[in-house]
């Protein structure tokens, strides 16, 4: 049923409806003498008709719900006004974010830099009491050469107390037996 090779183009032009009168005449002449091409022409015409009449597929009932959900999830907001910044060009977003962060940091600075204002000895006593009251496995010592840390030593009964004779700044770790430097 394959048409003659040189007639293929004309057969397709015919079913597209853009064949010229001269081409149509040439094709008709050929079709009267070529059964194969005549059959192919009829078959192509029928196929084109069937393709045009293919059953229409309709979207499912959930189509709109899923679409709305996808649009909402894309963080744009379906049914809601889109928030835009028309006054700011795109390239300013990163510097603007930097400036905003700096402002926030400045505002939070007093709270962030707040330190324990209690006298060193009082703070040290509280720490010593905490260590004495806590179960041994709950006590964690962080030993470091830090001016804010507290020097503690054990008394004769084995309890922790502040070591006022030795400040962290003056000491080297492990230099004084029985003293530990603690920071929290």
Partner 1 sequence: MNTAKTAKTAVSEPSDEQLIQRFQDGDLYAFEMIVHRYKNQLTNFVFNFLGNRIDAEDVVQETFLRVYKNKHRYKQIAKFSTWIYTIASNLAKTELRRRKRRKLFSISQLGFEDKDYDIPDSAFSPEKVIEEDFKGREIREEINKLPEKFREVVVLRDVQEFSYEEISRILHIPIGTVKSRANRGRLRLQKQLAHLLAK
Question: CA 69 to CA 99: how far, in whole Å?
Answer: 35
Alpha-carbon dihedral angle through residues 132, 134, 135, 137, given to the nearest 10 degrees = -110
Q: Among residues 63 and 141, whose Cβ is nearest to partner 1? A: 63
Binding window for partner 1 (CB under 8 A); candidates: 25-33, 58-66, 86-94, 114-122: 58-66
Give yes or no for residue 58 binding partner 1 (CB under 8 A): yes
How wide is the angle at C-alpha 169 spanned by C-alphas 168 and 174, nearest 5°?
Answer: 50
Binding of partner 1 by 43 (CB under 8 A) = yes
Site for partner 1 contains 50 (CB under 8 A): yes
- Taking each helix axis from N to C end, the angle separating 21-33 and 8-16, rounded to the nearest 10 degrees, works out to 120
Check residue 79 and report its DSSP letter: T
Among 6, 17, 33, 74, binds partner 1 (CB under 8 A): 74
Answer for which of 17, 22, 59, 136 binds partner 1 (CB under 8 A) is 59
The yes or no reply on residue 40 touching partner 1 (CB under 8 A) is yes
According to CB under 8 A, which one of 23, 26, 34, 44 is a site residue for partner 1?
Answer: 44
> Out of 21, 57, 106, 112, which residue is the one contacting partner 1 (CB under 8 A)?
57
CA 30 from centre of chain = 66
Q: Is 127 within 8 Å of 148 (Cβ atoms)? A: no
Quick one: which of 8, 153, 167, 183 contacts partner 1 (CB under 8 A)? 8
The residue (of 52 and 140) whose beta carbon lies closer to partner 1 is 52
Counting contacts by CB under 8 A, is residue 36 touching partner 1? no
Q: How far apart are CA 51 and CA 53, in angstroms?
A: 5
CA angle (80, 83, 88) in 5-degree steps: 165
**Residues 113, 94, 87: CA angle, nearest 5 degrees:** 115
* Residues 85 to 124 in contact with partner 1, rule: CB under 8 A: none
The site for partner 1 (CB under 8 A) is made up of 1-3, 8-9, 12, 15, 40, 43-44, 46-48, 50-60, 63-64, 66-67, 70-71, 74, 76, 78-79, 81-82
């Amino acid at each position: 049923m394959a048409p003659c090779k040189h007639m293929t183009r004309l057969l397709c032009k015919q079913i597209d409806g853009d064949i010229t009168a001269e081409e149509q005449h040439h094709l008709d002449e050929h079709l009267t003498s070529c059964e194969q091409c005549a059959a192919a022409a009829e078959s192509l015409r029928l196929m084109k008709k069937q393709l045009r009449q293919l059953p229409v597929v309709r979207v499912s009932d959930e189509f709109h719900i899923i679409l709305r959900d996808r649009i909402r999830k894309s963080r744009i907001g379906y049914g809601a006004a889109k928030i835009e910044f028309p006054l700011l060009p795109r390239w300013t977003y990163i510097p603007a974010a930097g400036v905003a962060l700096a402002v926030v940091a400045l505002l939070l600075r007093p709270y962030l830099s707040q330190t324990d204002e209690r006298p060193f000895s009082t703070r040290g006593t509280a720490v010593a009491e905490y260590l004495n009251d806590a179960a041994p496995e709950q006590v964690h010592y962080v030993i470091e050469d830090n001016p804010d840390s507290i020097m503690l030593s054990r008394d004769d009964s084995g309890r922790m107390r502040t070591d006022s004779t030795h400040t962290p700044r003056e000491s080297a770790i492990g230099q004084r037996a029985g003293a530990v430097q603690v920071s929290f």
